[in-house]
Structure 1
Amino acid sequence: MLFVVAACGNLSVFIAMFRTRRRRSRVNLFIMHLCVADLIVTFVVMPLEITWQLTVAWLAGDTACRVLMFFRAFGFYLSSFILVTISLDRYFAILRPMSFYDASRRSKVMLLFAWLGSAIASVPQVGTTSRNNYVFY
């Protein structure tokens, strides 16, 4: 049930944001990226968790395990890092309310670091995960 609600909600937000590309503000940009991160969690992590709970066996092989474990960590890191960038953007909006020109560039740089940081933080999942020690906590 949570999968259906998350999928419908995030897809509707993503479509609404995609249709109003012309009126793109910093807040809309952050919401669009957060929506993408949530869609990764919805379509990768949730089915992975559901399948694991139903089968308690990994049948897809080592490569699939490594790739899915990367995206499992990546989705959670990305959601968290984008929430941090939204908080930092709001902080700078209060600290320097008149710096409109720097805000757009700063928000894009922060989003770039959120994506790169998430990918870098997820890389250890690729090297340490194997079919024999596939464990969920």
Structure 2
Amino acid sequence: METKAIATDKKFQNIFEHANATKNGVCPVRDIIARISDKWTLLSIYALGGYGKMRFNELKHRIGDVSQRMLTVTLRNLESDGLVLRKVYPEVPPRVEYELTDLGLSLMHQMEYIIDWANTNSQEIIKRRKKVGNKK
């Protein structure tokens, strides 16, 4: 068990060493994590993964409190990164559908671990937040 922990520690240390060595350039890990870690991106990916192909307003409805502008920016970023496919149908008015690509699906499957962790630990975290909030 200790050997595995040391290997994991070394893996994370290497990530930071690489990031610090590329301060003047773009660290791919930091760049990608920054892009995919905001809540609208995570919720968009999870909604598309859970419900499949959707039109813009349906996706907006599934996510809930996202603004039209923020969802538009999020979907453009996801499309440019190859995580979401945007398909426009030549109809009047045009119909546009969004769906995850294979790359997007692979990210969603990794996100499942974080979502499961959040669901499992949410009560403990909320309890601690309330405890800290009462000290103020």
* TM-score normalised by length of structure 2: 0.28
Higher CA-based Rg: 2
- Tell which has more relative contact order, 1 or 2 (C-alpha 8 A, sep 6+): 1
* TM-score normalised by length of structure 1: 0.27
Higher helix share: 1
